[in-house]
Structure 1
Amino acid sequence: MLQLKDKYQSVRSRSEQICTSLETEDYVVQPVVDVSPPKWHLGHTSWFFETFILIPFVKDYKPYNTSYPFVFNSYYESFGKKIIRTDRGNLSRPTVEDIYSYRHHVDTAMTQLLSDTPSAEIQTLTILGLNHEEQHQELLATDIKYILGHNPLFPPYEELVNQPINDNSEMGVIHVEEGMYNIGYKGNKFCFDNELNNHDVFLAAFTISKALVTNQQYIEFIEDNGYQRHELWHAEGLDWVKNNLISAPLYWHQINNNWHYYSSRGIRKIELNEPVTHISYYEAAAYAAWKGMRLPTEFEWEAASPRFQWGQRWEWTNSAYLPYPGYVREAGAIGEYNGKFMVNQMVLRGASIVTPPGHSRSTYRNFFHPHLQWQYTGIRLAQSGE
């Protein structure tokens, strides 16, 4: 199992690489409930391997610290009590140094396990654990940006990003004919259970933009009083705008009458031709309405995806996060991974510049609550009819 062991070591190393420019104090901060401290991500992903693989399958394995399941369990009710999510930033202990020691302890045991010939069950759980850690790598990157982007000093930092595969220069629209389209994962490689079951969906004719909406285009929406025009917004979206005084995407700042935004390079002038990012579903839908268009459904997005470039931004769709036909939640704790979140969230498709290489695919279903902005989210427009 040399290949799986190498993959394990590569993924685990990448999580730590994302944190290389952090100071010790940065690891502990939790500005809002949706953002977890970096040290918690590092501990939780280690807890996953320890809890799901090492403790049940390695006879002589000794857990690093018997208190850590309480600290690093996220939402797995099957494993008992855990700290309240909002309290993750209140933990001065365990220390950052101790969490890195914890990772080393887990990695040593996992590397030894994978050096032999583990059972098919262990291999399956390891692959799930690696994909789980890659999900947290993306969260870790965006959480670090939120933490530092809400520091009044706006410090620059090293960000591990993929080279953009979409330069947003491909203009025009794609026409998709009415018909039946195959949706969902089909193959024998890894996928998450929410990508199953593969099934056919009937789609009416539609068009979809080849390019993502740019900062320049979104500024035109702002300057046309887009945030004040109630007719463009969902009722909940308008309440969110008013209650939170939202007037621009996250990290945008007006300085000397010019739009700037925060990035890993600190505060800089907005690049007008870059795809707009860090917007909520509410904002994406309002912008689409302003253009006289709409967001694509996740099925339209998947059907058309071979014909446009994607991967710079997670793209909001107009689909609620629901199970596919025939979906059955896995038994036990693994069944808590996706199924229990299939309510009150919207689906995003694609990937972003901080998605680990090779982690996403055209059938991948990301999902977030409609008010959230902190991920690298963007807009692709669609319209009914040919």
Structure 2
Amino acid sequence: MASRTDASPATAPLADDLTRRFTATRQLSLDLVVRLSDADASVQSMPDASPAKWHLAHTSWFFETFVLRDHCPGYSLFDDRFAYLFNSYYEAEGPRHARPRRGLLTRPSLDAVRDWRGHVDAAIVKALPTLSPAARALVELGIHHEQQHQELLLTDIKHLFAQNPLGPAVWDAPDSAIANEVAQFSADSSPSSAAAGPLRWIAGTEGIVAVGHEGEGFAFDCELPRFSALLAPHALANRPVTNGEWRDFIADGGYRTPSLWLSDGWAWVQAEGINAPAYWEGDRQFTLAGWQAIDPAAPVTHISFFEADAFASWAGARLPTEFEWEAAAAGYDPRAGQQLDVAGPVHPAAADGAASDGAALAGMFGGVWEWTGSAYRPYPGFRAAPGAVGEYNGKFMSGQFVLRGGSCATPRSHVRASYRNFFYPHQRWQFTGLRLAKDL
């Protein structure tokens, strides 16, 4: 995830509220790694992922660089070598350590990164009461930036631990669907996906609708400017697709039927030997609580755009456009649903309301990110901000697809109806799922 704020000095948050949210966000990042060893936090499992230690350091570099260095006269960098190590992709900030080689940074140690975080945190808290509105807007951006990295940190840890033949758990499983006796069932004896409630179609908004962020609250620049979109008659499924339904797709030869797949998707399936969502192995799946039974009623997750699109074709449906999704989500509470609140195991559970009469859309926020059929491109009138922070979004608007709604690993209060996440169509280490749509 990558984005930038459009907050202007006139709408910059008040210092007291900002201090509270800054300290809470920074503490949650530390809480998420409290059970990791220095080795756990240093290893990189693939080029798309980053070590947990790198996430902790990069978010600190962001605050030190864009707030303390640029807006606090007299501030001295904690270590001037860290900018090279922990810059991510900001060309305006100079050269950087190559992304695929982040896992080679055994030094600085995890404890040294924690010390740096403490230094940066103390300096930000001390400076906040006297920061200019423009600088406070950058602190606001940094908070949301760190929340994005909290989710990436969790999914990167999960990918790392899944490579270990021992299947270690980061946290003990809670008393939930992924920890009860369901761990013993087999494919033949498992409950059917009907436990999630029948899939029903709910007519969506049609005609001209306003999309994009509106109001004085925080938004990333890719959500702007607000504009009008035309929606044809359509319907959305009342809930996300479940694991049980995905099993049916597999059993019906979904991964062996080229007519269901986009050409690039079929080439990917063939080249990578894909035959199930990531982390599936028979009747179990790897979670942050270790190997657990697959709950057929829970939303399917860790699927690529290619897989989501193929499933929709198999189901005689399609993926929603991002504007169909946004228009539908506008009436729901973005702070609701299964989202990240505290450190601990996270895994999608059956969406609230999924077993209801189907009159409402369940799980619009939290649970799993929902793939849309929309390419990640700029809105009419989009303008990137000047300077380094302007590199946050615009340069990534090529070859990626939009996801909406947040996941079980998204910090609560981070998403809204207009929020646009984006990944390449083959990527699936995030908590990604789908909701079906169809034309009327």
The two structures have a TM-score, normalised by structure 2, of 0.83
Aligned with residue 27 of structure 2, among 13, 18, 24: 13
Q: Distance in 2 between matches of 1:207 and 1:363?
A: 19
**1:143 pairs with 2:196:** no
Q: Distance in 1 between matches of 2:294 and 2:121?
A: 41
Q: Do the aligned partners of 1:261 and 1:268 also contact (CA within 8 Å) in 2?
A: yes
Query: How far does residue 177 in structure 1 lie from its aligned partner after superposition?
Result: 4.8
**1:356 pairs with 2:356:** no
**SS of the counterpart of 1:6?**
helix
Q: Distance in 1 between matches of 2:426 and 2:43?
A: 22
| Pairwise CA RMSD | 1.7
**SS of the counterpart of 2:130?**
coil
Letter in 2 for 1:354: A
Query: How far does residue 179 in structure 1 lie from its aligned partner after superposition?
Result: 0.7
**SS of the counterpart of 1:319?**
strand
Query: How far does residue 159 in structure 1 lie from its aligned partner after superposition?
Result: 8.4
Aligned with residue 61 of structure 1, among 75, 79, 100: 75
Q: Do the aligned partners of 2:57 and 2:117 also contact (CA within 8 Å) in 1?
A: yes
1:262-341 residue pairs with structure 2 within 5 A? 262-305=286-329, 306=331, 308-309=361-362, 310=364, 311-341=366-396
| Cα deviation digits, residues 37-68 of structure 1 (max 9, x gap) | 00000000000000001011112211011110
**SS of the counterpart of 1:227?**
helix
1:1-386 residue pairs with structure 2 within 5 A? 1-114=15-128, 116-158=129-171, 169=197, 171-254=199-282, 259-305=283-329, 306=331, 308-309=361-362, 310=364, 311-385=366-440
Q: Distance in 2 between matches of 1:118 and 1:53?
A: 9
Q: Do the aligned partners of 1:18 and 1:159 also contact (CA within 8 Å) in 2?
A: no
CA change 1:175–1:159 in 2 (3 A) is farther
Q: Distance in 2 between matches of 1:303 and 1:58?
A: 42
Q: Distance in 1 between matches of 2:199 and 2:413?
A: 26
Unpaired segments of 5 or more residues in structure 1?
A: none
Q: Do the aligned partners of 1:8 and 1:130 also contact (CA within 8 Å) in 2?
A: yes
CA change 1:384–1:286 in 2 (3 A) is same
Unpaired segments of 5 or more residues in structure 2?
A: 1-14, 178-194, 332-359
Q: Distance in 2 between matches of 1:21 and 1:241?
A: 35
Query: How far does residue 169 in structure 1 lie from its aligned partner after superposition?
Result: 4.2
- Give the fraction of aligned pairs with identical amino acids, expressed as a percent: 44
Q: Do the aligned partners of 1:179 and 1:203 also contact (CA within 8 Å) in 2?
A: yes
Match of residue 354 from structure 2: none
Q: Distance in 2 between matches of 1:220 and 1:83?
A: 45
Q: Do the aligned partners of 2:172 and 2:289 also contact (CA within 8 Å) in 1?
A: no
Query: How far does residue 170 in structure 1 lie from its aligned partner after superposition?
Result: 7.2
Q: Distance in 2 between matches of 1:69 and 1:356?
A: 27
Letter in 1 for 2:55: H
| Cα deviation digits, residues 204-258 of structure 1 (max 9, x gap) | 100110111000000000011100100000111111111111110000002xxxx
Letter in 1 for 2:120: V
Q: Do the aligned partners of 2:68 and 2:124 also contact (CA within 8 Å) in 1?
A: yes
Query: How far does residue 262 in structure 1 lie from its aligned partner after superposition?
Result: 0.7
CA change 1:159–1:48 in 2 (3 A) is farther
Query: How far does residue 152 in structure 1 lie from its aligned partner after superposition?
Result: 1.0
Q: Do the aligned partners of 2:173 and 2:289 also contact (CA within 8 Å) in 1?
A: no
Q: Do the aligned partners of 2:205 and 2:324 also contact (CA within 8 Å) in 1?
A: no
Q: Distance in 2 between matches of 1:171 and 1:383?
A: 13
Query: How far does residue 264 in structure 1 lie from its aligned partner after superposition?
Result: 2.0
Q: Distance in 2 between matches of 1:21 and 1:224?
A: 41
Q: Distance in 2 between matches of 1:370 and 1:160?
A: 31
| Cα deviation digits, residues 111-136 of structure 1 (max 9, x gap) | 1111x232101110000010000010
**SS of the counterpart of 2:236?**
strand
Q: Distance in 2 between matches of 1:2 and 1:373?
A: 38
Q: Distance in 1 between matches of 2:232 and 2:16?
A: 48
Query: How far does residue 160 in structure 1 lie from its aligned partner after superposition?
Result: 11
Q: Distance in 2 between matches of 1:336 and 1:58?
A: 22
CA change 1:127–1:81 in 2 (3 A) is same
Letter in 2 for 1:375: Q
Q: Do the aligned partners of 1:20 and 1:158 also contact (CA within 8 Å) in 2?
A: no
Query: How far does residue 142 in structure 1 lie from its aligned partner after superposition?
Result: 0.6
| Cα deviation digits, residues 121-159 of structure 1 (max 9, x gap) | 111000001000001001011111111111111101128
**SS of the counterpart of 2:254?**
coil
Letter in 2 for 1:288: A
